[in-house]
Chains A and B, each alone.
Chain A
Amino acid sequence: MSTMTAVRAEGLTKFYGARRGLEDLDLEIERGEVFGYLGPNGAGKTTTIRLLLGLLRPTRGRVAVLGGSPDDPAVRARIGYLPGELRLEGRERADRYLAHLGEMRGGVSRERVRELADRLEADLSVRMGRLSRGNKQKIGLIQAFMHDPDLIILDEPTNGLDPLVQQEVHAMVRRVRTAGGTVLMSSHVLAEVEQVADRVGIVRAGRLVAVEDVGALRERAVRRVELHFDAPVPEDAFRDLPGVRDLKVEGTGLRCTIDGRPDALIKAAARFTVVHMVSADPDLEEIFLTYYGEEEARHHAAADA
């Protein structure tokens, strides 16, 4: 195996009894990249992550992390992990808990913990049971980053954080990449993954349906657009524009869906006077449907052949 591979999964499959958690995952994450793992809740993101950490035993398939087995303590020493459902020991003070985890990881300096705590504005002097959800999440982030691991696995890291702290977390992720580290980060929010990830894997119903560069994904993203003009516009002016679907013109209003670049629509609209424009963020579900639809189509094509 290439020493440049941080994560490699081959045919990785996990069933919980008869229920499918993940099926036939083939995935490679290179060292030094930020990999976004995108999918709706229950799609298999957490199952994948917990398999990579050796918390779950695969039903089939193989997994290698940092060139070794996730069961190897030497491999685990180089991983930082933030669980999706973080549970902390409520009676323990945050600073003592972090000191314990640091000691188990071969020693983490107080300064390092303090630095991270300052950056996230986390209060370490209280019992963790009394922390709010967002403040617990900060403790979880500190323990994931504090030993400067080669691979950081974050399961929905910005869940429950306010936007400023989210930005700080994104900055921390970028800093890890700059230092040569690898980050695997799951999310169900495309915008978040777009901001920090180099590549994105899309998982749906226990299967990885696509792996894309973030740029390509953005180009293919489906966007709903609404334009309002100062006077009624002819539908003909917008018909058959490349990338424009579901066109609906009613009086002075126009609604449509755009695949990828909005360029053609913008140029067509420029001939009229636009008074108002609404562009909804690319809808994750629609991106899934696009990929899923293609998968289905391929299956049908294969079946027909």
Chain B
Amino acid sequence: MPPLTRKTLRDHRRPLLGWGAGMFALLVAYLSFYPSIEDDPVFYDQVLVAKYPGPLRSLVGMEDTLIGAGFLQMMIYHFIGCLLFVAFAASLGRRVIADAEEDGTLELTAVLPITRRRLLLERFAGVALTVLAFALATLALVLAGNAALDMGADPGRIVAAHTGLYLIGLFFGAFALAVGAATGSKAAAAYATALYGGGGFLLTTLGAHVAALSWLRPLSPFHYFLEPRPLYEGWPVGSYLVLLAATAVALLVAVPAFDRRDIGV
């Protein structure tokens, strides 16, 4: 592993532990709620689920039942999971260039005998591996919960859905890194990611009910994760390749933009 990637991983230990602990607590809280839903499926499914209007159900990712996969879909693979993965990966993507530049520590890294392209890509590799560690730990927890609580969701599809979470996080990590690398501004990286992430999520969920917006929907990264419903349908290989390609595009744009620019002005 390149030394800069190793160093980036070491720098990410703290955020990984912090976000990991938060995600862990949240998942455990959700999973511990599951037995009470299972005990009273009539109330939760027919009274609660049926009452929700369609657009709101799309927003929170509510399926027809809250038993088994329906529970995991709503609690993890829709809103909260997306939010946490995107926020975590984007915070790291912003951190490795924009934050380092604003706090001045990029200066000594940028004069090392490596090209700016390598600097950017090796740090991105650190982001990708940190988010991967986050994904594997949370996947293990979900699989364990699914087995222990007898939820009956297909483990293979849980892996497929979790892979999607990872890919959507990875894309936004690359996006935040690219905006940071092109502008050198923490604020620009944060706002652009929040805008694209929030807007994209609304477009894919609520936008499904607005015919006039349908042509815009492929522009949202969430279109390639939420729409194919991997927890139910299994691996959406084509959609996932689109997410990977979008990640590559973000990096391809970031490299020349970073290379041309003044650092630390």
Contact = CB atoms under 8 A, between A and B. Distances in A.
A255 to B, nearest CB: 45
Interface in B3-59: 3-4, 7, 11, 14
A85 B104 CA distance: 8
Interface residues of A, number: 29
Contacts of A53: 111
B110 A55 contact: yes
A91 interface: yes
A92 B264 CA distance: 21
Contacts of B3: 100, 103-104
Interface in A88-112: 88-89, 91-92, 100-101, 103-106
Contacts of A100: 3, 7
B113 A57 contact: no
A277 interface: no
A98 B77 CA distance: 42
B202 to A, nearest CB: 37
Contacts of A239: none
A106 B112 CA distance: 10
B112 A83 contact: no
- B-side interface mostly: loop
A87 interface: yes
Interface residues of B, number: 22
- A-side interface mostly: loop
25 contacts: A16-B265, A54-B111, A55-B110, A55-B262, A55-B263, A57-B260, A57-B261, A73-B115, A74-B113, A76-B111, A76-B112, A79-B111, A81-B108, A83-B107, A86-B104, A87-B104, A87-B105, A88-B105, A89-B105, A91-B11, A91-B14, A100-B7, A104-B113, A106-B113, A143-B108
Quick one: which of B3, B7, B111 has the most chain A CB within 10 A? B111
Contacts of B150: none
Contacts of B233: none
Contacts, number: 58
Contacts of B263: 55-56
Nearest to A73: B113
A19 B113 CA distance: 30
A101 B105 CA distance: 12
B113 A105 contact: yes
Nearest to A55: B263
Given A76-B112, A83-B108, A143-B108, 18 more contacts: A55-B107, A56-B263, A56-B265, A57-B260, A73-B115, A74-B113, A81-B108, A81-B111, A85-B104, A87-B104, A88-B108, A89-B105, A91-B14, A92-B11, A100-B7, A101-B112, A104-B112, A104-B113
Nearest to A91: B14
